[in-house]
């Protein structure tokens, strides 16, 4: 199913269709996002707002729609894929990091709020992952910062293995935050 995380009506249709097909939503993985890397005196406010809409408000909107069913079952797992930029900021990454720091704060708050309802909330903060997330220009810039070499990156499989681990944790275990970097 395709949808738009910035459109609550679109999200509501997806949640409704999922509930109709499967009867419940046990795990929510919030993974929508995009980056915007620019000098602080040259940024475009509309692009920054759009990034906040996708990276933060989209997560909150989808979570809002899924939580009532999880509360009703007294169980659930919400995984928010954040970024290491939710913990560490680098030059030209301040706008992206602002959205990711916000997701970390949001996640910590709902983790505390939803615990009494049997719902776990975990954040995953990966470093660079080999995907189409980065533009060619951004990859070139990062290579220049890394003595001309492309930085090591995680594979998508590295991240999916962590997601599998989180989804298979025992009821008595609460993995709240995972940060991973390429080795």
How does pLDDT run across 113-150, given as a tens digit for each residue?
999 999 999 999 999 999 988 888 888 888 888 888 98
- Please indicate, yes or no, whether the overall pTM of this predicted structure exceeds 0.75: yes
Catalytic residue chosen out of the listed positions 96, 102, 110, 120: 96
Q: Is 80 within a domain?
A: yes
Q: Is 70 within a domain?
A: yes
Please state the domain count of the chain: 1
CB neighbourhood size of 171 (10 A): 8
CA pair distance 13, 32, nearest whole angstrom: 17
Rg for the chain, CA atoms, rounded: 17
Q: Is 147 within a domain?
A: no
User: 111 or 139, which is more confident?
Assistant: 111
Q: Is 168 within a domain?
A: yes
Strands (E), the chain: 27-30, 76-81, 119-126, 177-180
Domain that holds residue 23: 8-122+163-172
Q: Is 60 within a domain?
A: yes
For residue 19, give the CATH number of its domain. Answer: 3.40.50.720
Q: Is 86 within a domain?
A: yes
Given this model, what pLDDT does residue 127 score? 93
Mean of all residue pLDDT scores within the chain: 95
CA pair distance 31, 100, nearest whole angstrom: 12
Over residues 11-37, the pLDDT tens digits come to 999 999 999 999 999 999 999 899 989
Per the annotation, the verdict on 96 as an active-site residue is yes
């Amino acid at each position: 199913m395709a949808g738009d995380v910035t459109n609550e009506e679109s999200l509501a249709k997806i949640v409704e269709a999922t509930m109709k097909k499967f009867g419940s939503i046990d795990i929510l993985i919030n993974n929508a996002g995009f980056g915007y890397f620019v000098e602080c005196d040259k940024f475009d406010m509309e692009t920054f707002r759009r990034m906040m809409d996708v990276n933060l408000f989209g997560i909150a909107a989808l979570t809002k729609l899924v939580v009532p069913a999880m509360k009703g079952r007294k169980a659930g797992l919400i995984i928010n894929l954040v970024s290491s930029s939710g913990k560490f900021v680098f030059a030209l990454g301040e706008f992206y990091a602002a959205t990711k720091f916000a997701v970390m704060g949001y996640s910590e708050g709902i983790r505390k709020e939803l615990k009494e309802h049997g719902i776990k909330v975990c954040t995953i903060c990966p470093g660079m992952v080999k995907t189409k997330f980065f533009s060619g220009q951004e990859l070139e810039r990062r290579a220049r910062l890394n003595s001309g070499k492309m930085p090591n990156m995680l594979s998508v499989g590295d991240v999916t293995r962590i997601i599998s681990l989180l989804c298979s944790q025992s009821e008595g275990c609460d993995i709240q935050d995972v940060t991973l970097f390429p080795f």
